[in-house]
Chains A and B, each alone.
Chain A
């Protein structure tokens, strides 16, 4: 009996008991798919407040996934993380971006696209396929939710990077980075749900600081250039 309890404690540590067929596993997989859709919606839109809206939706779904994992393992630290995610990524960052950047700088339509919307959606689809190709299921615990969520989170990381590459506006690049960050977090709750809390808290602190600094720079650059597109930022070369 003692052997069994030790083994199960070890297994809960790696989230291997959260199988794809269980209700919690299904919910986490569903949330990952919704997050991927939100990233595609972001990639297929041209309006700044849509970017921010879809990012907010994605973060709320992410916090839902974290809450499911927290409920499944009955872990207070994971509950705390789910609430921080909701408060910070789902509410505070979208509201702050909208108030401090979009409204104050009167930004509406993103014209600094280096590819058409359909092209970037096609590239996004290819990247998603690529993510499923490179993440070999045999490296991940068999039958666990990680085997479906980790390729999806890799796809989110790549889509965020794509957003940063094809959009030249500083705000679009900021949202692209935040999508990447969400993808990493999704991977974290499924692959490494028992990350030490102090480290997770530090990661969130850095996220807040990074967003604050970026907001300051975006408004500074926008004021300097009236129309802040990173494509106009090409004085420094060579």
Chain B
């Protein structure tokens, strides 16, 4: 079991190893794809084992995987698979066009590997101090991807990203300190005072005042990574300026990783303080985030920023679901995390086709994608329908579950407000993407994004495969997944 966890975490580093062995960008891309597939397969086996035999604990709590961790490993390693296929094709085209030097392309694969491996490591530790270190490591690796192109715009985005999220993560470190301090009243060894499981099972003997502070600071600190308003300002810049496969990783992977930390803190806080205080904090920030996300969806004119604001909206919805609580709320939140990850990865990967094909990120200049680039246009249309919450895609099912949880757990005003925001978000996202896919081409004459046949194949696999998985999630939840979700909910309540 321990070996399995190590495989999940370390296999994505194959990409970096290939670069160290002086592979070119094609070789590194293929190595990355192989590593990601291996890691995904190992994560599936791990999840099955954990659901069957219970949690894994080793090395004094530093290595710890329960059903929740296994679920997140599956989600993020799936995102890594999709993004690796995309990267292998996208980076080669950028290199051939002279947008990136071969050094930059190799740099990309090194930091992409570290980024992926760092995120997967977050889910396999039970020590909240080490969790902090790993979240910061994966953030730093992703900063390099954002600033990779070295243009003034991408450097600006990368600077904003690194300075705001480093500050946010520092706040999360203060939260870790206060959590550690809150356990001084419980009889725990110093290492147990940072171990999630022992904190969770001794939650009643933690000091409530410092626990309250620790939870609030953790939501603000890790919330900066998640993009919870008002700490979301770096997010649209970073997600729009990064190369598209890296945007997919940021949006579908890193946001989810931050949310994982918040879920862990929430579990301890509820066990220590009761559901009211953590629920109120999450509902307040969640609704604020959904509001901000939806308002900017209305006025965004850069399509990658549009998708980024849709991610902010989704994260707000997940925070609201965690605030509603109850089994139904948690089920909806976890399902939304999975559906968001798959849908947003596909959407950002399809935006890569548009960036390469049209050479612009301005939605007003992109017209007639369905006729010019049929595959990318079709995927863009269906994925944005799905991400906005239309059936039969996964997000529809999860958002429906969350609204139902709201009606069951709180007064009906809150879920009704959420529904209103969802409708506005749906209309504004679809208004922009429908205009992009339909009609004849406008000012910009598109060029074929992937001239070589092998690149075209590599770039199409994640679009088709991801979209199929995304649609399937709305129609059918496999019994294994359902079991994993139920075990995850039991692990944190």
Across-interface contacts of A3 in B (CB, < 8 A): none
**Of residues 421 to 456 in B, which have CB atoms within 8 Å of A's CB atoms?**
none
Kindly report which residue of chain B lies nearest to residue A14, judged by CB atoms.
B184
Is A117 an interface position by the 8 A CB rule?
Answer: no
Of A56-64, A84-92, A192-200, the stretch lying at the interface with chain B is: A192-200
How many Å from the CB of A138 to the closest CB on chain B? 8
- Which of B127, B157, B180, B300: most chain A Cβ within 10 A? B180
With CB as the reference atom, state the residue of chain A lying closest to B167: A177
> Which chain B positions have C-beta within 8 A of A161?
167
Asked whether, in the complex, the Cβ of A220 is within 8 Å of the Cβ of B150, the reply is yes
- Please count the residue pairs between chain A and chain B whose beta carbons lie under 8 angstroms apart in the complex: 125
Nearest CB to that of B60 among chain A residues? A196
Q: Is the CB of B159 within 8 A of A170?
A: yes
Measured between beta carbons, the chain A residues less than 8 angstroms from B177 are: 184, 187-188, 191-192, 195
Q: Find out whether the CB atom of B144 lies under 8 angstroms from the CB atom of A213.
A: yes
Scoring B136, B184, B187 by chain A CB atoms within 10 A of each residue's CB, the highest score goes to: B184
A32, B284: Cα distance in complex, Å: 35
Nearest chain B residue, comparing its CB with the CB of A13: B190
Determine if B296 is an interface residue (Cβ-Cβ < 8 Å). Answer: yes
Residues A235 and B133 in contact, CB atoms below 8 Å apart: no
**Which of A157, A210, A225, A230 sits near B166, CB closer than 8 Å?**
A210
Question: For window 278-323 of chain B, which residues contact chain A by CB distance below 8 Å?
Answer: 296, 299-302, 305
Q: Select which of A170, A192, A214 is within 8 A of B181 by beta carbon.
A: A192
Q: Are B194 and A199 in contact (CB under 8 A)?
A: yes
Nearest chain B CB to A217 CB, angstrom units: 5
Residue of A nearest to B151 (CB): A224
**A233 on the interface (CB 8 Å rule)?**
yes
- Which A residues, 4 to 29, have Cβ-Cβ distances below 8 Å to chain B? 10, 13-14, 16
Give the size of the chain A interface in residues (CB under 8 angstroms).
45
Task: Summarize A's interface: helix, strand, loop or mixed.
Answer: helix
* Nearest-Cβ distance from residue A187 to partner chain B, whole angstroms: 6
Q: Which of B159, B166, B305 contacts A221 (CB 8 A)?
A: B159
Q: With an 8 A cutoff between CB atoms, is A173 at the interface?
A: yes
Q: Which residue of A lies closest to B208 (CB)?
A: A139
Chain A 121-137, CB within 8 Å of chain B: the 1/0 string?
00000000000000010
**Chain B 352-369 interface residues, beta-carbon cutoff 8 Å to A:** none
- What is the CB-to-nearest-CB distance from A128 to chain B, in angstroms, rounded to a whole number? 17
The minimal Cβ–Cβ distance linking B143 to chain A, given in whole angstroms, is 6
Q: Which residue of B lies closest to A217 (CB)?
A: B159
Interface residue A76 (Cβ < 8 Å from any Cβ of B): no
Q: Given A210-B162, A238-B299, are A180 and B170 neighbors across the interface (CB < 8 Å)? A: yes
Q: Does B253 count as interface, using CB distance less than 8 angstroms?
A: no
Per the bound structure, the CA–CA distance linking A206 and B181 in Å amounts to 22
User: B155 and A192: CB pair below 8 A?
Assistant: no
Q: Does B490 contact A (CB under 8 A)?
A: no
From the candidates B137, B150, B153, B213, name the one contacting A206 in the complex (CB within 8 A). Answer: B137
B137 adjacent to A209 (CB under 8 Å): yes
Complexed CA–CA distance, A191 and B173 (Å): 13
**A residues near B104, Cβ cutoff 8 Å:** none
Residues A202 and B133 in contact in the complex (CB < 8 Å), given A181-B170, A236-B241: yes
Beta-carbon contacts under 8 Å, B134-177 to A:
136-137, 140, 143-144, 147, 150, 152-153, 155-160, 162-163, 166-167, 170, 173-174, 177
A203 interface residue per 8 A CB criterion: yes
> Closest residue of chain B to A193, judged by CB?
B190
Query: Is A35 an interface residue, CB under 8 A from the partner?
Result: no
Minimum C-beta distance from B171 to chain A (A) = 8
**Complex Cα distance A214/B162, Å?**
7
B174 touches A184 (CB 8 A): yes
**Is A159 an interface residue, CB under 8 A from the partner?**
no
* Contact of A206 with B133 in the complex, beta carbons under 8 Å: yes
- Contacting pair A184 B173 (CB below 8 A): yes
- Asked if B144 contacts A238 (CB within 8 A), the reply is no
Q: A205 at interface (Cβ–Cβ under 8 A)? A: yes
Is the CB–CB distance between A206 and B136 below 8 Å? yes
Check B66 for interface membership: any CB of A closer than 8 A: no
Q: In chain A between 157 and 196, which residues have their CB closer than 8 angstroms to a CB of chain B?
A: 157, 161, 164, 170, 173-174, 177, 180-181, 184, 187-188, 191-192, 194-196
In the complex, chain A residues whose CB is within 8 Å of the CB of B136: 206, 210
- A 207-233 contacts with B by CB, 8 A: 209-210, 213-214, 217-218, 220-221, 224-225, 230, 233
Interchain residue pairs with CB less than 8 A apart (10): A10-B187, A141-B184, A174-B163, A187-B174, A191-B177, A192-B181, A198-B62, A203-B133, A221-B159, A233-B156
A interface list, Cβ under 8 A from B:
10, 13-14, 16, 136, 139, 141, 157, 161, 164, 170, 173-174, 177, 180-181, 184, 187-188, 191-192, 194-196, 198-199, 202-203, 205-206, 209-210, 213-214, 217-218, 220-221, 224-225, 230, 233, 235-236, 238
Taking beta carbons and an 8 Å cutoff, which residues of B are in contact with A?
62, 127, 129-130, 132-133, 136-137, 140, 143-144, 147, 150, 152-153, 155-160, 162-163, 166-167, 170, 173-174, 177-178, 180-181, 184, 187, 190-191, 194, 207, 209-210, 213, 236-237, 240-241, 296, 299-302, 305
Which 4 A-B residue pairs are closest in the complex by CB-CB distance? Answer: A199-B129, A202-B133, A233-B156, A14-B184
